[in-house]
């Protein structure tokens, strides 16, 4: 039998502190190709910090981060630890596109220019090729008619869909979503939820931080419940939502449903 492919994303025993505050206390997560892994938990449980460590936007103090089986190379230890290879960091970030809670579109660029910017400047791809892909992706997320608009002219839901198109235009191996709907009104949330569901149906590899339990149940292959920096419980959505095993998860789900 051939060896199974390594996970696209693998995190082993990850620890992260801000001074004396320990935010992640030894977390293990993996996402194989085509899997959607959702991280749920109360505010302050470490979900967003985990994503930022995964994408190397934050330095962790202990543990391993592997992308396609390749471990991040570090130098230094503890609070002094940081990635040793800037080229490796750039390559990993290019393949782990992140969509933030706040849309982070450049206000001085049109929607189309926002989507095209990174492939042009980071990947140095031909403009005609990038523009064709960008227009296709704007059509995919339902805002091709806004290609020449400024971000300030868009609703929050349209801006978030533009941010998703921007992430996809890098043709990443995996997508990281950090509360992609929480800054939106309920009506606008559904525009973004539909796009995320469509991406899940395409078997995109995703790590998704969300407070939307229905979205997590609908799109995920695996649910991870974080509590105070540790994995309190994890498993497939049917089991995690239908038969929680710990009091903390039951309490969290009850409060989320209230």
Q: What does the block give as tokens for 11?
A: 């995190």
Q: For 158-212, how does the pLDDT look when each residue is reduced to its tens digit (9 = 90+)?
A: 999 999 999 999 999 999 999 999 888 888 899 999 999 999 999 999 999 999 9
Q: For 83-131, how does the pLDDT look when each residue is reduced to its tens digit (9 = 90+)?
A: 999 999 999 999 999 999 888 899 999 999 999 999 999 999 999 999 9
Phi, psi of 97 (to 5 degrees): -75, 135
By the 8 A CB rule, do 240 and 233 touch? Answer: yes
Exposed/middle/buried for 108, CB within 10 Å: 0-12, 13-18, 19+? Answer: exposed
Phi, psi of 172 (to 5 degrees): -75, 160
Dihedral Cα 4, 203, 175, 16, nearest 10 deg:
-50
Domain ranges, ordered by start, for the chain: 9-109+173-257
Exposed/middle/buried for 186, CB within 10 Å: 0-12, 13-18, 19+? Answer: exposed
Report the b/e string of 200-225 with b at 16+ CB within 10 A.
beeebbbbbbbebbebbbebbbbbbb
Q: Coil, strand, or helix at residue 184?
A: coil
9-109+173-257 has which fold?
Rossmann fold (3.40.50)
| Confidence (pTM) | 0.94
């Amino acid at each position: 039998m051939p060896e199974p492919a390594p996970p696209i994303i693998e995190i082993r025993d990850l620890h992260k502190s801000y001074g004396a505050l320990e935010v992640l206390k030894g977390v293990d997560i993996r996402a194989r190709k085509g899997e959607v892994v959702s991280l749920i938990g109360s505010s302050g449980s470490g979900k967003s910090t985990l994503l930022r460590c995964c994408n190397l936007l934050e330095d962790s103090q202990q543990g391993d981060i592997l992308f396609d089986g390749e471990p991040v190379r570090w130098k230094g230890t503890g609070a002094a630890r940081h990635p040793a290879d800037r080229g490796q960091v750039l390559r990993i970030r290019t393949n782990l596109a992140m969509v933030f809670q706040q849309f982070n579109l450049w206000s001085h660029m049109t929607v189309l220019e926002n989507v095209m910017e990174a492939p042009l400047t980071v990947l140095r791809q031909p403009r005609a090729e990038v523009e064709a892909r960008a227009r296709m992706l704007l059509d995919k997320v339902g805002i091709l008619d806004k290609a020449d608009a400024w971000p300030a002219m868009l609703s929050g839901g349209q801006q978030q869909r533009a941010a998703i198109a921007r992430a996809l235009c890098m043709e990443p191996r995996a997508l990281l979503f950090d509360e992609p709907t929480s800054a939106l009104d309920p009506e606008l949330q559904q525009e973004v939820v539909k796009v995320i569901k469509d991406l899940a149906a395409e078997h995109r590899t995703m790590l998704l931080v969300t407070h939307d339990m229905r979205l997590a149940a609908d799109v995920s292959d695996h649910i991870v419940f974080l509590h105070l920096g540790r994995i309190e419980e994890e498993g497939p959505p049917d089991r995690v939502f239908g038969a929680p095993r710990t009091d903390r998860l039951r309490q969290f789900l009850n409060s989320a449903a209230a």
